Amino acid sequence: MILLLALAGGLPVGMASSRWRGLPYQTPELRFVWLVFLAFLPQLVVLYLPNFRSGPNDSLSAACLIVSMLAFLGFAWLNRVVPGMSFLLLGLILNLTVIALNNGFMPISPHTASELISKQALQDFQAGDRFGTKDILLLSESTRFEWLADRFLPPSWFPYRFAFSLGDVFIALGAFVILAWPGLSIKKE
């Protein structure tokens, strides 16, 4: 969700800035874009398609998530010269680190999870259970690199509740800059 907000903000900022300067908005030149689609395929199949979501075991899902993140990391590395990509790259590294060290899923504490679902619904979960599509419910003291876990929440006035990590913040910042930068940096001749 935080990534969607960054995309929804970065593109209008870049376009408005370009328009204000009297120049056309130019999308950033990204290489190897096919890697993004390739990277998303394992997540799409194993985590989001209903028939596969309930079928594969957690080990297969975790492995697919890590392979997917490595492909995204490769895409970001190959495009590291694009303004903002260094933030995105850092966010991917942070998320991959915490996911790889916690059974292949993003850890979320019972406290954070209780802000997303009712206390009664949370009682159906035990430590180590999958929570949502990419998270695993872990006690803070048994989470490796807990400070990189999904632990942040949007303000209470925000209409949609979700948890996000420090890595997600950097990924969103990177996406925002990637889309906003072309409008901010183009020089009028």
How far CA 182 is from CA of 35, 58, 77, 90, 159, in Å, comes to: 22, 41, 19, 21, 31
For the chain, give percent helix, strand, coil, nearest 5: 60, 5, 35
Instruction: Return mean pLDDT, the chain.
Output: 89
How far CA 99 is from CA of 9, 28, 70, 128, 131, in Å, comes to: 27, 29, 12, 13, 14
Exposure string over 128-167, b if 16+ CB within 10 A, otherwise e? eebbbebbbbbeeeebeebebbbbeeeeeeeeeeebbbbb
- Rounded Cα distance, 74 and 119, in Å: 40
Per-residue pLDDT tens digits for 24-53:
888 888 999 999 999 999 888 777 777 665
Say whether 44 sits in a helix, a strand or coil.
Answer: helix
Look at residue 77 and tell me whether its pLDDT is greater than 80: yes
pLDDT at 28: 87
Q: What percent of the chain has pLDDT over 90?
A: 59
Query: What mean pLDDT is predicted for residues 116-127?
Result: 89
pLDDT: is 57 or 119 the higher one?
A: 119
Per-residue pLDDT tens digits for 51-64:
665 555 778 888 88
